[in-house]
A and B are shown apart, each in its own frame.
Chain A
């Protein structure tokens, strides 16, 4: 016993920990993205598989190099760089050049994340920073679409959102829902993204208030504008399932690091994103506005957190009884 006594571990309470870990959360996100990613490879061909590989490899290498340069402990195994690598490809067009993806992945990790201090400290969603960079540097490539293998439309051309905006073509709900439409690599199949995220919602790895308030805002505003001018503005269901709204709401807006920590804050953040999406989609120059809506609101997260501090127990109530 003397020996044991010398080695007793001292630490502050609590002495038990739940089995949640950052690694577990990030790996869960990765795994739930697999169905949508696999479907995207089927739909858009093996070339997209190459893009995934290139993006993931670049993310991991950049993370490794920067962490080494910053002389920080090695954090590659937390799985967060992997998430960025996969998500970046999912929001790019199917024939985006591979060298562009290398650049985008590098920007995602280095400018999007490590410059702010690495895991947990970034303000903007890294994958979206990468995409925004590519949208600015490769404006032509970022808007070139191809028809998927399983396609509802016969001729190649615009995404459902662009078709709606510029040609007034309404894509049927079922095509949007199952993903037999053109669009960014991983955004097309609403059903697979929803199914994947259900697990995350159940595990509370997604702050449910964020997607919920985005959806509600989009539905309400979409319906209002649709009622005002049905010929010009599509209905709420179209808004919900077209373009990047599903992947944006479920996987990017709800990214833990870059979203508010308070309950009220999540609702404000979600509603604002929904509002911006509708404004950009209906009145902006672009067909899709999810990326900019999220990046814009990311910037307000610290402010939202501060403004929505919960009422501390025992304060601000009448203590008469």
Chain B
């Protein structure tokens, strides 16, 4: 089988063996859930409940106030303890609904629409996706219904379902594909119907042959094509995946729809399927809990709002001296300041790493080895950008394409001087934006 791929990229130690063969287990219901009212890119929700209210599983607790937003639902039946600002995995404090679960199991799902995409009205599916609060589950958390409503002048011919899961350590998508392939196929067809695409492609990295086998068995080759991509990070990055599979380049500053493509994560396809077929809103997701900092890594069905601490307990507790708690994978995940932060819709993994010397090491000047230039998947000169940012020459950053950086971290990973290149670039992006805004005024 042909392996699709792209230029650049790296091969970090994948460490997927820690959790790759562990079946997805229920993580159970924690003592208390913290549900941020902003779990997506776009306008935050307004609380739809008040402290003291009894709520049912699936009930709307966060209402949208604009199109680019996604409603939030209660993952459990219980009582609203309070509504207050609480720490969000992205670092800042965000208005959140704190829920005390009960064991009544009261449920308030939407009406099932049906199983077969072919028999459904695309408008109904889209409305359902909107109402179910579905966002991009790969981590970007862009509201799905917005992505699935491209403007008329941007026809979409191909839907790519992204099952690459190129981040090391993470196995949530892998397990989903192995254990629930019918859901993914069915969800993919539903999304395909909404977008009215000619072709649906499921892309999986070559290190997950079992997933491809299951998907092919569950699907029908006439509707859905499974392709294998090379196991290389960041193969799952939207732009790289489109380039690899279709040989189309998303223009600088553009979106996949500019080249007639929509990319959706396998988790998103599953959520779409569940919302349409069972009326279940997005209140649960699969999370990999892994790393050398937990005793028993595994994959779990987790209620949105579950604190990280609860998941660590489910994974056998901590092992050794914990250095970092990362939400997401090791290449692009976000280091957390506390183990109390909740799982949100975009949380694909919790990576607990034991403390190691390299985590606090300083960095050296750039020695122009050009390793970063060779691995950059978008052909930037990361070393140059880091030097520019270090010298605070923000005027130059733009001309070296700082905003084209996808922050995949390949440059930073290979840098022998251990330079925090991604941090330099993120800072430069902010500065460049500030300068542009100032100029506008």
Contacts and interface: CB of A to CB of B under 8 A. Distances in A.
Interface of A: 1, 4-5, 7-18, 20-22, 24-25, 73, 75, 78, 117-121, 204-205, 207, 256-263, 305, 309-315, 317, 319, 321
Given A12-B420, A14-B330, A17-B418, 14 more contacts: A8-B325, A8-B336, A11-B420, A14-B412, A14-B422, A16-B12, A17-B412, A20-B414, A75-B364, A119-B365, A259-B368, A261-B384, A313-B377, A315-B251
Nearest to B334: A13
Contacts of B252: 312-315
Contacts of B13: 16
A14 B417 contact: no
A262 B381 contact: yes
A11 B249 CA distance: 31
Contacts, number: 185
B370 A261 contact: yes
B216 interface: no
A21 B409 CA distance: 17
Interface in B251-278: 251-254, 258-260
B360 interface: yes
A15 B330 contact: yes
Contacts of B323: 8-9
A25 B426 CA distance: 28
A321 B248 contact: yes
A211 to B, nearest CB: 15
B13 to A, nearest CB: 8
19 contacts: A4-B339, A5-B339, A8-B337, A10-B337, A12-B426, A13-B331, A14-B330, A14-B422, A15-B326, A15-B330, A16-B168, A119-B365, A120-B365, A261-B384, A305-B381, A305-B384, A311-B379, A312-B252, A313-B239
Given A8-B336, A22-B367, A319-B249, A312 B380 contact: yes
A118 B412 CA distance: 22
B368 A256 contact: yes
Nearest to B317: A1
Contacts of A309: 381, 400
A8 B324 contact: yes
B10 interface: yes
B334 to A, nearest CB: 7
Contact of A314 (B250, B365, B420): B250
A319 B400 CA distance: 21
A179 B287 CA distance: 62
B68 interface: no
A24 B371 CA distance: 14
- Dominant secondary structure at the A interface: loop
B360 A9 contact: yes
B401 interface: yes
Among B13, B335, B360, B383, find the residue whose CB has the most chain A CB atoms closer than 10 A: B335
B420 to A, nearest CB: 6
B263 to A, nearest CB: 15
Given A8-B322, A315-B251, A120 B367 contact: yes
B377 A15 contact: no
A121 B368 CA distance: 9
Contacts of B360: 9
B423 interface: yes
Contacts of B335: 8-13, 15
Contact of B373 (A78, A121, A261, A317): A261
A25 B369 contact: yes
Contacts of A311: 379
Contacts of A8: 322-325, 335-339
B210 interface: no
Nearest to A312: B401
B318 interface: yes
A315 B384 contact: no
Contacts of B383: 261
Interface in B301-341: 309, 318, 321-326, 328, 330-340
Interface stretch (B104-112, B199-207, B222-230, B351-359): B351-359
